[in-house]
Amino acid sequence: MSFHKKLPISILKYLAIILIIPCGFLFSQDNHVEIGIDEKLGKYLPLETLFTNSIGDEVTLNSVIDKPVLLAFVYYECPGICTNTLTELAWVIDRVDLVPGKDFSVLTISIDNDETAEIAAIAKENYLTSLQRDFPVDSWEFLVGDSASVSKITDAAGYYFKRYGDEYRHPGGLITISPEGKISRYIFGSQFNQFDVKMALLDAQAGKTSPTVAKMLQFCFSYDPEGQSYTLNITRIIGSIMLLGVLVLFLVIAFKKKKTNLVKN
């Protein structure tokens, strides 16, 4: 006779409830992100969205995404983590073992709809001239757009931010996009490993999505809008451990009760 037939129905009901609680706890974290990243792996960006590049020309995303792309949402006059994100991005693309312009390109989109092509041009010159390797000028685009275009692309990417006065609170990170515009992987934080970036770009080229590590990081770390950084979420982790402990304890009690009943019979 199978185990589930021997257990009383009431025990099975309680077991189901305990199993559902931690699952709900885990998955509810991503339901209403106010400031942060809610992964949209496998979804496609709206490639028809119109932006303005650093020389003042209007372009669609379709015209600048034709190979694996490293996408960064920032704003060019950001006093916070954007500078570090762009500096780290420049550092990693200077070292990643792939050919820029052939194997990948880089796309930076400002989340500040008040920024102009002139501001984007200054940022582009600053970061391109910091590179040591030969990097084609058109392989790192710096775009600006109106509020509708910015909202359309950030919503599609699951990237959420808020404006406070003249500044924005927003998460850091990179997103790899396939040549067809599919979201392939998220790389969280503002410091990047060249091997991770290379593998993410290769996955994007192959059209693969890789959620495992990102999801683990997203669960264990929460974005702190005040500090504009990711911090370890101790409460969430301890809560999960406690729920797991309750589940294990319940299973132990259930097995002991089953064993006792069998002995009596």
What is the dihedral sign for C-alpha 36, 38, 41, 46?
Answer: negative
pTM over 0.85? The answer is: no
- Which of 21-25, 43-47, 191-195, 245-249 comes out lowest in average pLDDT? 21-25
Tell me if 45 sits within 8 A of 181, measured CB to CB: yes
Residue type, 108: T
Q: Tell me the C-alpha to C-alpha distance, in Å, between residue 122 and each of 39, 71, 85, 101, 198.
A: 31, 19, 17, 21, 27
Q: What is the DSSP string of 72-133?
A: EEE-TT-SSHHHHHHHHHHHHHHHSSS-BTTTBEEEEEES-TT--HHHHHHHHHHHHTT--S
Tokens 């989109």, residue located? 109
Give the model's pLDDT for residue 27.
43
Give the model's pLDDT for residue 33.
72
Average pLDDT estimate for 26-43: 73
Tell me if 186 sits within 8 A of 215, measured CB to CB: no
